[in-house]
Amino acid sequence: MSKFSASDAAFSGFRLVRENLKTVAIWAGLMTVLSILSNTVAIQFFGPKLGAFLNYISDNSSPDPDELMRRMADLAPMMLWSLPYSLLVNGVIFAALNRLVLRHQDSRLAYLRLGMDEVRQAAVWLLASLVLMGVLFLGSALSGFLAGLGGPTGAFLALLCAVGSLGAMVYLAVRLSFASAATFETGRITLFRSLPETKGQFWPLLGAYLLAGVMSVIVILLIWMIVYAIGLVASGDFAATGKMMRADTSSLKAYFTPAGIVQALFSGVFSVLTTLIVFGPAPSIYRELKEGRAGGSADGGW
């Protein structure tokens, strides 16, 4: 069985960033533009409701469930609109990520395309999300049913079911983590057929993904600390710095301020960095394992 180093794999996303700075800068710029455009559309049609919802969340540490659901229902049309947008963006960015790792020489247009590879990536991510959400939903429903039985036994069984459903979701997420890379490589939507690729690799993969996730959080926090430090030096007021970094989405006039543009800029940078650091290990490990089974070696680059 081919093996890999979980610790080395966890840092493969950082290597992708370091070795492809120009590409990362282009992706970050594109994501910034898309963030501004999507926010503009959302504010144009849902600005007041979106602003009220965000203010309610930020001002209430324990929001009322009924009021929260009512405010979310007001934003349902925006959520429906954002679904195809998110699928399109995910399809493009994950196809680009797989192309960067698996076809590194195909670097024209900074690995960005808009074709069937992107459509297949959007489809496989939608299918994987539906499967994982389905597992969690079934577990929650069964847990609620068991809790309804009452008594210590019912509560204990409900707890076991909840923990089991979370464990099953994590297990499936890890086992299906090569679906995106396999889909890109084969040119066919591959979900459960990618399971053999992760057979016997669950714990190393889980360790690599957890470490990558932790490192991603650390990087984001460090960037925010630097930004807040700069804002604090410039304004001399910590509270004002916090407000400066939170864009006002109540109207387009309020959004298109230095704070709104800064927030959109960092949103694009964070999105690209998170994608590379958190999701970069999966195709990198996939490539390493495939080359190990084939007796090949890496050709220098990602």
If one counts the domains in the chain, the total is 1
Confirm whether 63 is domain-assigned. yes
Confirm whether 192 is domain-assigned. yes
Residue 234: predicted pLDDT: 58
Q: Report mean pLDDT in 10-residue bins for the chain, 302 residues.
A: 80 93 93 87 77 72 74 77 88 96 93 95 95 92 84 86 92 95 94 91 94 91 77 59 60 73 78 92 93 57 36
Confirm whether 302 is domain-assigned. no
Helices 21-59 and 12-19: crossing angle, nearest 10°? 120
pTM (2 decimals)?
0.84
Q: Where are the alpha helices (DSSP H) in the chain?
A: 6-10, 12-19, 21-59, 65-74, 76-102, 116-147, 151-175, 179-186, 202-235, 238-244, 252-255, 258-274, 281-294
Confirm whether 69 is domain-assigned. yes
Confirm whether 158 is domain-assigned. yes
Range of the domain at 169: 6-294
Confirm whether 1 is domain-assigned. no
Confirm whether 299 is domain-assigned. no
Residue 250: predicted pLDDT: 66
Residue 278: predicted pLDDT: 94
Confirm whether 300 is domain-assigned. no
Residue 105: predicted pLDDT: 93
